[in-house]
Amino acid sequence: MKYSTGEEVLLGDKVILWAGAEGIVVCSLDSNEFSDAYSKAEWGYLKKGVLIESPQAGLIHYVEPEATMRLLQRRNVGK
């Protein structure tokens, strides 16, 4: 999955979902990346897209990015 800017959505990205809602990418099915809290064994059946955890909206599965979704901050590489 890609943001509207053409950048790949990566595990650990901090994103704006819509005005007033932010989240963290906790799983990228497209790149086969899963966080410790969201394992492939549990979530791999979804096959495509990303999972984003948001304090405002809970856990959301996106197959395609919303027009309002944008990258705020990349994950800290090496952590």
What would the pLDDT profile of 20-76 be if each residue is shown by its tens digit? 999 999 999 999 999 999 999 999 999 999 999 999 999 999 999 888 999 999 987
Single out the residue of 64, 56, 75 nearest to residue 16, CA to CA. Answer: 56
Using alpha carbons, list the distances in angstroms from residue 25 to 16, 41, 49, 68: 11, 17, 11, 15
Report the predicted TM-score, pTM, of the whole model to 2 decimal places: 0.91
Model pLDDT, residue 78? 52
Model pLDDT, residue 75? 82
